[in-house]
Amino acid sequence: MTKTLLLEIGCEELPTSFLADALGQLEKLLPEELGRARLGHGHVRVLGTPRRLAVLVAGVADGVEAREEEILGPAESAAKGKDGGWSKAAEGFARKNEVSLDDLSIVETPKGRYLQARKRSPGADAAALLPGVLAAACRRIAFAKSMRWADGETAFGRPIQWLVALHGETVVPFEFAELTAGRVTYGHRFLAPERIEIASADVYESRLSVAKVLADTDARRVALLGGLEAAAAHEGGDLRRDAFLEGEVLGLVEWPHVVVGRFEDSYLTLPDALIESVMRGHQRYFAVEKKRFEDAQRDPAGGRLLPLFLTVVNTALDPDTIRRGNERVMRARLKDAAFFVAQDRKTPLADRVPSLDAVTFHARLGSYGDKTRRLARLAPFFAAKLGCDGAEAARAATLAKADLVSLAVGEFPELQGLMGGFYAGHDGEPAAVAAAIAEHYQPRGSGDAVAPSKLGAAVALADRFDTLVGCLGVGLRPTGGEDPFGLRRMAIAILRTVLAHRTRLDLAEATRAVVAVYLEGPDTAARRAFAENPEAIVGPVVDFVSERLKGILEERSGRDPVAACMAAGKNDPVDVDERVAAVDAFWKTPAAADLAVAFKRVFNISREAPAGALTAEDRARLSHPAEVALLEAFDAAETELQGRLAARDFVGAMAWIARALRAPVDRLFVEVFVMDKDETLRASRLRLLGRVADRVGQLARFDALE
């Protein structure tokens, strides 16, 4: 018979990050400990609020039966000493498997004579095993920062107040943190603070729900978002969704209740992003935007928000007092923000640029002033690739970092770029330039969109290429899990931007453009490094970025198509992406496997081809019907293939290769021994195959397949 197992650790309020991490650990730890005890079980669910960590395990067995198992160890030569007794290795094997030396023996196996341990495990009731299981799981929970309290020696994220452990209806009285588990838990601290006795593990959630505690994280999230959306709709707006904020607030409450606060309309002249940062930063307030606000109507400087905010609190007691307190705090912080903006606007953004010379970007790459001048030179290069105005790109790049020396960004560093775009608009800069300044830090993270405008993308690419090439050039390459300058994220952002805008960009050419700008700049460690050998950095940068491209494409298309296409050329991410898509589509057809085998052989054997093109003399020598057939097929297909490749019709090119060349290639290998003893004839055959490989290799290198 099986029953549900419940473990609840009641404690003082845990920080959100502690809660999520501890629940993730418990989801693994408890099944591991049950497995060590040989107790069978079913599905594992973790439940948690700021005041409790809980696990429900379905179908935990009432006990385990006795069993005997035979465990093989090292070979006899290692298990026996010179005197014929057990060696140190045998003794260690016995200790590891918790058996005595009397339980060891040498047995014959198909591979020879080996040491064997006969391990006998007695049967036991769950009641005897579960206290040790639960105590062990609790002891293994680790926190980024733990604390001790009172006179106890137990370290935990926060002081533990109570323990609940039930196997079905039966208490499991294990001890942890100088407490003994029982069946008593507690509801909401303010709304239902009384003791609650849990009759059985199966009623745990329902009993807590009556006591104003939503222990299930998903149920609490539904209640949280439902309350927020309902409050926003009641005020005539839509909730501004914020995944980070939702996760933070979810870990702060047990029974979410929404309180609506308001602020003066006059503050809506501030940028939306600034208002949201005031709400989000320390207060954890949610913003509400105007209902059905179309993208086409949106002003990048602001104008989307309603003059109110939503607070999620853990208690519905006296919401008016909570609202008034929150409004006072919000009003004070908005007043500060308005002051910063007013002071900043007294100095045009362009006049702030000289101040960047006093701000260090990196000791080996120069100041932010140096970086700004490099970006102004680089942005037109990327603008040309994207098909936008080079002069506007240079202007946006010149102003892009100027807001770093503003008061608003000093107080709200997460708004760098956004405030610059806002100030540029008020300074009378072209709208496209202001938008590009605001966008050039995008994507700011994995969930963020790339810069939507081509001008913003040009400045974003210039900014990231400048940093990436400079850091790699002076040896600041990421190692293992360490990437202090975020160069991997930077490379991924470059790729996401290029792929989103479908921009044909040669990574080697872009790297050389960056190096050239460094060489024209002031004396820095980067300039000195590039001056010694300007080409030395090109390969490492291309490899570094293309390694990230490989990861991106493999998530979509798998390893084989990506390996074949990147071996044929990896400098142009969009080109690689399109070729991989074509090869991946073909890979799913029945003909793919046979074609891959045939052309992998073509590529492998053509490596032996002597230098030089296929000549008229070679053609005259290739008289075997299979050779003639391949020559004729390739001559007929070459023009078609080149046309399709030039038109970037990679799907059509792949289909053409399969249709026109596979059969004659197969026939050649069946009927002709390519590596003939006649060196001249062998060379002609290899040159033919080499020509086939060269043309097909413009699309994919099948010899790169594993």
pLDDT at 65 over 80: no
In a domain, 75, yes or no: yes
Model pLDDT for residues 460-519, shown as the tens digit of each residue: 999 999 999 999 999 999 988 889 899 999 999 999 999 999 999 999 999 999 999 999
The pLDDT assigned to 600 comes to: 81
In a domain, 368, yes or no: yes
pTM: 0.80
In a domain, 223, yes or no: yes
Residue 393 and residue 529 in one domain: yes
Span 619-638, average pLDDT:
86
Give, rounded to a whole angstrom, the gap between the first and last alpha carbons of the chain: 50
In a domain, 197, yes or no: yes
The pLDDT assigned to 293 comes to: 53
Span 598-620, average pLDDT:
83
Type of residue numbered 204: Y
Q: Coil, strand or helix: which one is 357?
A: helix
pLDDT at 650 over 90: no
Q: Which of 557, 586, 617 is the last residue of a domain?
A: 557
pLDDT at 2 over 50: yes
pLDDT at 1 over 80: no
Residue 584 and residue 652 in one domain: yes
pLDDT at 390 over 90: yes
The CATH number assigned to the domain holding 490 equals 1.10.3210
**Angle made by CA atoms 664, 670, 671, in degrees to the nearest 5:** 85
The pLDDT assigned to 692 comes to: 85
Type of residue numbered 611: A
The pLDDT assigned to 361 comes to: 96
Residues 648-653: contacts with CB under 8 Å, at least 24 apart: 648/578, 650/578, 650/579, 650/581, 650/582, 650/583, 650/699, 651/581, 651/582, 651/585, 651/586, 653/582, 653/699
Residue 497 and residue 440 in one domain: yes
Residues 559-566: contacts with CB under 8 Å, at least 24 apart: 559/706, 560/587, 560/596, 560/705, 560/706, 561/587, 561/700, 563/704, 563/705, 563/706, 564/700, 564/701, 564/702, 564/704, 564/705, 565/699, 565/700, 565/701, 566/704
In a domain, 139, yes or no: yes
Provide the percentage of residues in the chain whose pLDDT is more than 90: 65
Burial 662-693 (b: 16+ CB within 10 A, else e): bebbbbbbeebebeeeeeebbbbbbbbbbbbb
Residue 430 and residue 532 in one domain: yes
Q: Coil, strand or helix: which one is 108?
A: strand
How many structural domains does the chain have? 5
Q: Which of 344, 377, 410 is the last residue of a domain?
A: 344
Residue 60 and residue 75 in one domain: no
Write out the residue range of the structural domain in which residue 188 sits.
2-64+125-210
Residue 374 and residue 461 in one domain: yes
Q: What's the rounded Cα separation, in Å, for the pair 555 and 578?
A: 15
Span 278-294, average pLDDT:
84
Is the model more confident about 298 or about 146? 146
Give the torsion sign (CA, 134, 137, 140, 142).
negative
Q: Which residue has the tokens 């001056």?
A: 531
Residue 53 and residue 74 in one domain: no
pLDDT at 227 over 90: yes
Residue 185 and residue 204 in one domain: yes
Model pLDDT for residues 115-171, shown as the tens digit of each residue: 898 887 778 888 999 999 999 999 999 999 999 998 888 999 999 999 999 999 999
Model pLDDT for residues 523-539, shown as the tens digit of each residue: 999 999 999 999 999 99
The pLDDT assigned to 705 comes to: 64
Mean pLDDT (the chain, rounded): 91
Span 450-466, average pLDDT:
97
Complete DSSP assignment for 308-354: EEEEEES--SSHHHHHHHHHHHHHHHHHHHHHHHHHHTTS-HHHHGG
